[in-house]
Chain A
Amino acid sequence: MLHVLRDVCGYCGCCVSVCPEGALELIDAYLEIGDNCTGCGICAKVCPLGALEVKDETPV
């Protein structure tokens, strides 16, 4: 699952441009993650600030 660290995010749209699924959308100062996000982590890698995290949430 992709998480946005909202205090870190600069709402710049860098992540939006590289998402292969088109799952991210910047709505003013709010980054929306669509249901089609696959958790691939490309966005987390390119974020200039480190505001995105992919977390494994498989229940133990």
Chain B
Amino acid sequence: MKPRYDLLVIGGGPGGAVAAETAAKAGLSVLLAEKRPAIGAPVRCAEGIGREALTEFVEPDPCFISAELKGAEIVAPDGSSLKLNPEKAGNKVGYILDRKVFDRELVWRAAEAGADVAVKTRASAPILENGAVKGAVLHHCGETRRIGADIVIAADGVESKFSRWCGIDTTVPVREIMTSAQYLMTDIDIDPTVTVFYVGNNVAPQGYLWVFPKGERSANVGIGISGAKSGTGHRARDYLDRFVASKFPSGKTIEHIVGGVSVCQPLACTVSDGLMIVGDAARVVDPLTGGGIYNAMFTGRLAAQTAISAIQNGKCSKDVLMAYDRGWRESPVGKTIARNWHIKEYFIRMTDEKFNALISSASTMDLDEFSTLNLVKELVKKNPLLLGDLAKLSFLLR
């Protein structure tokens, strides 16, 4: 660890790792600081990602792919199910990753590109000069170091503390935190190529329950429910235990995973003088799916690209870094988040009766392109009366 770097990245998840790699490749001196003792662990993720989303950043490698997906299924409260086939979208629609290996791979790439990496290294405060971020105070095994940097990228995940210390309110509204629990289960009967989603107000209030295959007889079995619906006796874990007891009574749990996923709108502004915020820390998770890996890598790369030109031009003020904020908002990622937030707000108000009617309107559906937008479009087409309110928001579905 040197006393100063061009770029300091706080957090060694996919957003931070891609930011560090991108900047180091362009010749910046970079430190990637991760507070946990190991990259990729503990996992806080259901590990799903679309094929194109993954391949934009890294070639799928068997070492970090747990399962290749060929379809999906949505199960209604009354048990009726809708199978989504990628007939027209090609055979491989997505992957379930092994995040422990995947995250390491990304950090290895950053290190290979020339970034310094420090694990078990926690930031506790920014270094501020005239209100501008100029580095951070880091702690490593009892030692405290002040590390200077022209720019800091906050990639510190759902906790998003670093930006808060810089004066940016990152608080997630209670109703928009998906409080989540997941068991990595083995010795269970599943289709190893299909993700299954269970919806309904008694199954997963304002969220969903998922079974994501991790192998022939293994899966991430998890649930996210709205913080507003959580409380004593009806927490994420309670719902999950009930589901597992009825669906996989003889399965074995080999990993116990918990976490929070924000489904709110992104931070009003994701930059300040010397600071850019990426990934979950910027609240850029897809509010409809809860997916955050791709959006983190996308914002991480864009923030690093902005840092490269800012540092080359010797100006790291907020107005210069705003190019990053505008960039992701105007990108397909930003537009999808904005649209999916509205669709999510619609779906969380849906009754079980409506879910039942909607899902039983078709037993299978062939999708041209395997996306939530396409699914919603098809559902609206099939259920013009049922989803009249959503159709009114048709500008969202263009």
Contact = CB atoms under 8 A, between A and B. Distances in A.
With a 10 A CB-CB cut-off, give which of A14, A19, A42 has the most chain B CB atoms.
Answer: A14
Contact of B180 (A14, A15, A19, A20): A14
A13 interface: yes
B275 to A, nearest CB: 16
Given A26-B159, A47-B179, A18 B122 contact: no
A10 B170 CA distance: 22
A25 B156 CA distance: 12
A48 B236 contact: yes
Instruction: Give chain A's interface secondary structure class.
Output: loop
A17 B349 CA distance: 24
Contacts of B42: 11
A28 interface: yes
B258 A17 contact: no
B181 A48 contact: yes
Contacts of B158: 13-14, 16-17
B6 to A, nearest CB: 28
Given A18-B174, A25-B161, A46-B177, 19 more contacts: A12-B44, A13-B158, A14-B179, A14-B180, A16-B161, A17-B159, A18-B173, A26-B159, A28-B120, A45-B227, A46-B230, A48-B181, A48-B230, A48-B235, A48-B236, A48-B237, A50-B232, A50-B235, A50-B237
B180 A27 contact: no
A14 B174 CA distance: 10
Contact of A17 (B35, B177, B181): B177
29 contacts: A10-B257, A11-B42, A12-B259, A13-B44, A13-B259, A16-B161, A17-B160, A17-B171, A18-B174, A19-B171, A25-B159, A26-B159, A27-B35, A28-B35, A28-B36, A28-B120, A42-B227, A45-B174, A45-B227, A46-B174, A46-B177, A46-B260, A47-B235, A48-B180, A48-B181, A48-B230, A48-B258, A48-B259, A49-B181
A19 B230 CA distance: 15
Given A45-B227, A48-B180, A48-B181, A22 B161 contact: yes
Given A12-B44, A50-B232, A17 B260 contact: yes
Contacts of A46: 174, 177, 179, 227, 230, 260
B227 to A, nearest CB: 4
With a 10 A CB-CB cut-off, give which of A20, A28, A45 has the most chain B CB atoms.
Answer: A45
